[in-house]
A and B are shown apart, each in its own frame.
Chain A
Amino acid sequence: MRGELYIKRDMPFDLYEINILEASDNDLIKISEEMGLALNLEEMKAIKAYFSHKGRNPSDVELQTIGQTWSEHCYHKTFKGIIILPDGREIKSLFKTFIARATYELNKPWCISVFEDNAGIIRFERDYGIAVKVETHNHPSSIEPFGGAATGIGGVIRDILGVWADPIACMDVLGFGPLDYDYSRLPSGIKHPKYIFRGVIAGIGHYGNNMGIPIVNGAIYFDESYVGNVVVYCGCVGILPISKYVKKAKAGDHLVLAGDRTGRDGIHGVTFASLELTEKSEEVSRPAVQIANPIEEEKLRRAIIAVRDQELATSITDLGGGGLSSAVGETAYKFGCGAIVNLDKVPLKYTNIAPWEIYISESQERMLLTVPEHNLDRVIEIFRSEDVEATSIGRLTGDKVLRIYYRGHIVAEIDIPFLFSPPVAKRHARIVKPKLNEPHLEKPSDLTGDLLRILSSPNVASKESIVRTYDHEVKGNTVLKPFCGKNNGPSDAAVLKPLDDSWRGIVISCGLNPRYGKIDAYWMAASAIDEAIRNNVAVGGRRISLLDNFVWGNPEKPDRLGSLVKACMACYRFAKGFGTPFISGKDSLYNESPLGPVAPTLLITAIGIVPDTRRIVSMDLKEPGNLLYIVGQTYNELGGSEYYRLKGYLGRNVPKVRLREAKRNMRVIRRAIDRGLVRACHDISEGGLAVAAAEMSIAGGLGLEIWLKHVPYAAPIRREDYIMFSESNSRFLAEVPESSREEFETIAKGVRYALIGRVRKDELFIIYGLNDEPAITTDINELCNAWKRTFPWG
């Protein structure tokens, strides 16, 4: 006769013992589900074995703590686990084999801290470092778009505070389903893309604006595969004196919890993020979405910077996924300590919260500092002076055991080493090549109309009415803003000048090509890397480092995992090849709904440097009579292109990246910008050459003429539409004054480039076809209207 699974302990508060010792395999799975642990049988068995050895059952606090720590979200089991390929070969860890390997092999001296802490840190100048982090907040945003997106921004800002850096800019890259998606096709439990879109945009603006951190860079992408799973990437850049980057906690230090009070919001956020979304997600997981309070975080920021500057604390980390359980556990583990936590010291929003809930709640705007005894009063006083609550909730100990007390009773006692050695996940991968064909398109009859329609397509159209709901210039240091020129053209990258006494700048750009992911995850990843870097180079960036953020389907399904492996392979090859190390990254898996998985989506964020912000280049055409050059050659690569999408196809010829060519093209652009030869530069991406040229023309309010027959290609492309709309990587358009022609061409020697056009005095936009007849004839007004009508003001 077995006993009950859950036994209430005789305590003056809610505490259950889980009868794991007598539990069958079925019971173990039941426990995992009922308690929302999202652990599999193997992991539950490991827990059973641990407690069998101890000869006792775990408490709910213990089991929940393990569940949080071992979740995909916190532990990244897939990236750290073993992957078995169809031929039997094993990949020990995707992360080490591909992502981190590129960084360690490149071994750049300016990488200060990579993959170790809450954010990657690189050197900026003198003692200053730049901290960068990008996170995803997809799952909560699909349940509660406003709160989910707002806390996404809030969370990534805390990651920056968690390395003692002062946040100076945010980024957001969003993926939604089509806004005109048919309501009747929406499965029950899934919210309409328009609702999600509005909520997410408002949430991001709410947090960034209120906290006074400019949102300077981003992208908005629409794809059918995001109907069931919204994609919300939130990034943050901070600056810190590297000498103040202190991480040296030791036994005896106080664990100081600072910020907002703890409530029931955000229970099981991480385990929720490690599951697929279902019809019931709304009901079951609503409490998993946290509540945002940006003003609290703004106060927290001021206090933390003061504590940092006075060097009063020995370490800091944020409370994000897993709440206290992650923050305390990771702090103790990192410094080889144990910890004692008194849960009744934790300030609560309301009473009657069970101890396990206090310990794993993901209430926002909280940070954990370790503070030596002799500094405790001063630290708490600094927080108090900013109207922020700070409390010592326990101490680090020397024995590598986590002990949690509540009202004088011990409610958990776990060995820290056990907590951080979950069973290694073993997963099978299968590489599936989708059966795709190149379409046979009729020769187009109305290329002007096609260009205007592509300009109006949601993925290309101006997002000005949305992006201007974010403050992108608070702090007054945004040198290149999201929009430039006369008519608010789309800047390739944002540039910040963070120090008053230096002209040195930070260049922030991104790359994202989910449609390529539907064809080939490898080239999708390669293209994202190329795009992020070339956006950076186009304004004058260099010494570039990268962040990788994967949004993928369920990795327990072999085909999803197979494409993930391919993407990681590309990450290694191209990061290494470009000499651009990864400094931080994150993965969000299990992005599946009844509508299926998301398109394999990799966001690459590129962080570059400009030695002198006065020499950067924007993308708007500057002066009539100037010459327009294309750098880089065009291939017949329209797979996944906007042009094929317009015609109703996906295609197969996905853009590839040829490293040697790409690096040479970028070197030419960088040199030409450095010598002051380039008045405007724009990267060629979605919509190809024609769209890039149109955007430059719109932005500058100046007409342009282009001769297609001069465009360099690798193998003859006899179709005008293909040359205009191919999305081959590593290409740039550059506006060069006649007087700099010779010097520019000297620099460009050795790469494929050509003089293809000239800036006009009037407002006409003409592309001459291969036979020298105008293939496209329009003007700036028409282009501008097409580009701006999709997302009108108001």
Chain B
Amino acid sequence: MKRGEIRVCIIRVGGTNCDAETKRSFEDLGVKASIYHVNEIFRKRELLAEHQILVFPGGFSYGDYVRAGAILAKTIMARIGAEIKAFIDEGKPILGICNGFQVLVEAGLLPGLNGISQYPEAALATNVPSGYRCMWVYLRHENSGKCAFTWLIPRGAVLRMPVAHAEGRFVLPKEKDLFNRLIGNDQIVFRYCCENGEPAEGRFPANPNGSFYDIAGICNPDGTIFGLMPHPERAYYYWQLPDWTRMKNPPRYGDGKLIFESIIKYVMKKF
């Protein structure tokens, strides 16, 4: 597929608020991205199939009442669950950023150890220390290359992006041995780390939310569904970096671009 033919569907609802910058990042790379209110998708269910990439951007969908992302997740699965499943079955990538990650977990799409789960298999719990925090973190890329969203990034590479959330502590139920399966399936994509790439080992502020095993982002076993708490769309241009004014010759882009580029190249290759 040619770059110019790729269509990105960015879903929004009351409370979504990172849709515009997410669209901007995709479009800067030469693909067509459209923002749809869920009501529009519900009315025209065939819309989804006209796109190759589906994105749940950051924000506070439906005010994050009940639990972060829970209402949008249930609404989506109830209203267009079949279309979503078809989308996944075709190997089309789904990206969830921040609130989008929360939506994917609440929808049972991530970690997705046994396909789509009716109940969430993991949770993005309230931060430890508690509270909303907006700060830049370092991430180490852990995936061996099957994740469609990071396959251009070498394993072990350290990236920098900001987080901004109050519920980002990734946790799994202990008893089900899910963690070993996550590792075995190579589903862990990003872990919070120190500037030099050493693991954060749960220590604040390198690990900004107390996330288990410093997990910042995971994908499904196929590598086609990916959720992460950090915001790549806020680390897309160099002038979004927190210290670009210190650089004598700043790069043109931030690390966030690698993710958008990876997805697009994946789609170009696959379809």
Contacts and interface: CB of A to CB of B under 8 A. Distances in A.
A295 B164 contact: no
A476 B233 contact: yes
Contacts of B169: none
Nearest to B235: A476
B131 A476 contact: no
Interface stretch (A92-100, A416-424, A478-486, A592-600): A478-486
Interface string A727-771: 000000000000000000000000000000000000000000000
Contacts, number: 103
A212 B18 contact: yes
B223 interface: no
Contacts of A518: none
A620 interface: yes
B245 A617 contact: yes
Nearest to A616: B245
B62 A470 contact: no
B164 A473 contact: yes
B204 A473 contact: no
Contact of B21 (A476, A483, A618): A476
A385 interface: yes
Interface string B64-83: 10000000000000000000
B14 A618 contact: no
A277 interface: no
Contacts of B243: 484-486, 620
A294 to B, nearest CB: 8
Interface stretch (A79-87, A203-211, A579-587): A203-211
Nearest to A701: B246
A468 B14 contact: no
A187 to B, nearest CB: 31
Contact of B39 (A211, A387, A474, A477): A387
Given A468-B133, A473-B162, A474-B17, A210 B60 contact: yes
Given A476-B240, A484-B242, A295 B62 contact: yes
B242 A469 contact: no
Interface in B95-147: 129-135
B213 interface: no
B134 A468 contact: yes
B85 to A, nearest CB: 26
B164 A210 contact: no
Interface string B208-236: 00000000000000000000000001101
Given A387-B39, A486-B243, A298 B162 contact: no
B4 interface: no
A223 interface: no
Nearest to B40: A385
Given A481-B242, A484-B245, A476 B24 contact: yes
B37 interface: yes
Interface in A773-794: 793-794
A392 interface: no
A299 interface: yes
B20 interface: yes
Contact of B37 (A210, A386, A613): A386
B14 A794 contact: no
Interface residues of A, number: 44
Given A209-B60, A484-B245, A469 B14 contact: no
Contacts of A205: 132
A473 B204 CA distance: 21
A211 B40 CA distance: 21
Contact of B246 (A470, A473, A497, A620): A620
B239 A613 contact: yes
Interface bracket on B? 35 or more
A226 B38 CA distance: 46
A622 B131 CA distance: 32
A48 interface: no
A474 B15 contact: no
A472 to B, nearest CB: 6
Interface string A439-482: 00000000000000000000000000000111111111111110
B37 A469 contact: no
A672 to B, nearest CB: 15
B20 A475 contact: yes
Interface string B18-57: 1011001000000000000101100000000000000000
A614 interface: yes
Contacts of A472: 134
A212 B17 contact: yes
Contacts of B20: 475
Given A387-B14, A468-B134, A468-B135, A210 B242 contact: no
Contacts of A386: 14, 37
Given A209-B60, A613-B239, A793-B129, A474 B246 contact: no
Contacts of B199: none
B205 interface: yes
B59 interface: yes
Contacts of B204: 793-794
A473 B234 contact: yes
Given A385-B37, A475-B20, A210 B63 contact: yes
A500 interface: yes
Contact of A793 (B17, B58, B205): B205
Nearest to A622: B246
A481 B237 CA distance: 15
A469 B131 contact: yes
B14 A295 contact: yes
Interface string A355-394: 0000000000000000000000000000001110000000
B246 A479 contact: no
Contacts of A478: 240
A295 B59 CA distance: 10
A212 B64 CA distance: 13
A479 B132 contact: no
Interface string B242-260: 1101100000000000000
Contacts of B234: 473-474, 476
B136 to A, nearest CB: 9
Given A473-B240, A793-B205, A485 B21 contact: no
Contacts of A480: 245
Contacts of B164: 209, 471, 473-474
Contact of A295 (B15, B21, B133): B15
A497 B239 contact: yes
B42 to A, nearest CB: 12
19 contacts: A210-B63, A212-B16, A212-B60, A293-B63, A295-B15, A295-B60, A296-B14, A298-B14, A386-B37, A470-B132, A472-B134, A476-B24, A476-B234, A481-B242, A485-B243, A497-B239, A617-B245, A622-B246, A700-B246
Interface of A: 205, 209-212, 293-296, 298-299, 385-387, 468-481, 483-486, 497, 500, 613-614, 616-618, 620, 622, 700, 793-794
Instruction: Give me the 4 closest cross-chain CB pairs, A-B, nearest first.
Output: A212-B17, A476-B21, A794-B129, A618-B245
Given A473-B162, A473-B240, A476-B234, 12 more contacts: A212-B17, A295-B60, A295-B63, A385-B39, A473-B164, A475-B21, A476-B240, A477-B21, A618-B245, A620-B245, A794-B129, A794-B204
